[in-house]
Chain A
Amino acid sequence: MERRAFYRNGTLPWLLIGPQLLLVLVFFYWPTSQALYWAFTLEQPWGGGNTWVGWDNFAAIFRDSEYWTVVGRSTFYATVTTLLSMAVALTLAVFADRALKGTKLFQSVYVWPYAIAAPAAGVAFRFIFAPESGLIGAINQMWPGIWNPAINGWQALGMVIVCHAWLGIGYNFIFFLAALQMIPKSLSEAGAMDGARPFRRMLDLQLPLIAPTVFFLLIMNLISSFTDSFGLIDTMTEGGPFGSTEVMVYKIYFDGFKGFDYSGAAAQSIVLMLLVIALTIIQFTWVEKRVHYH
């Protein structure tokens, strides 16, 4: 048996966790219970009353082929954003980890994007990517009509994905860099003496050694791509053109706050919540246990 410290006093622990518990109750459990309740009723927007409809709200969204399109799009969005952001961050971290000129500077500079609020970044990127007046719009001078996210759904989606990935790079970079610096230098140096080039050392030595970090970031990025895209999409495309940048979280916002279908939006947020819970469970059970180096 492991020895554990524990409190003999029964009330003290409750007092200690009380404030935190209160915060979680007020800002998490209470809204969640409301959403859960609304998901099984038809709620009048002005609060005039509601009727119990059982699983009807869920049946309605699952029946809607458009909803599945949105789910598919969200999955695509999350996957590409995550891979892109992590790949770039890892590459940068590997370079920053090596003793190159200016490493110290880069180590701090790459973190900056993480400090920028999504809507602010969204506004900036909207100007950068605007087809007629933006910086990227300049390529339309060379090849007219080649870049136009206002009418091309894939370009619009790609544009938002790039911005989301860019915002996440700083966060991923810190974790990667910390993980890389945890690896004893002797391992890398031994590899170098055996003739392995930096790229080979990264694949065979560093990556396996930082696998727990990679998987942690994978899950964190997926969750964030599913839930944090609102600020960017709302400022950059508002879900358009023709709904091609509408992901789950944006549809919840639109149906709930613009369409005043509180119950449909509540049902959708329950689905999204279950998805995030599932990812978290994977994180806690599968990932934490299996991906360890010995």
Chain B
Amino acid sequence: MNANARGCMEKDERTHLVTDIVAKHKNSKGALIPILHEVQELYGYLPVEAQETIAKEMNVPISEVFGVISFYSFFSLNPKGKHKISICMGTACYVKGSGPILDKLKETLAIGVGETTEDGEFTLEDCRCLGACGLAPVLTINGKVFGRLTKDDIPEIIEGCKTEGGSVL
């Protein structure tokens, strides 16, 4: 189940699920990061109420939970757009021109890196090496890989996301 589908659930039900996740890991050493991974899977990000639940159930200050979340770029404090675009900024892609592609994305979507469009459709992110260097330069949209790109491919890819009825690719 993806994060959006889960968004329809009742808030209370999710808090309950967070409690379950914490209970599952609580007795293993160094459990906080595995817990955060699972909770982020549940919400699509890590909202304050989930952080509070985690802190309470683990019996640690919320500052510690927040400290860990803010340290790691994989954890997000904000909800993501329906289409999450990650452009690879690894060396191989950079040398093959991912810079101009990123510029084109920013221009087309009118947002910066790490931002989400106002309509909640697109989030733009840069990432470090997806390991698909043979297809460089690459980007992913919700995990689907688009490779051997030029900046002229961008408008079509963005349009493609919109015309599929806004559905997740």
Chain B associates with chain A = no
Q: Which residues in B have some Cβ–Cβ distance to A below 8 Å? A: none
Interface, chain A (partner B; CB < 8 A): none
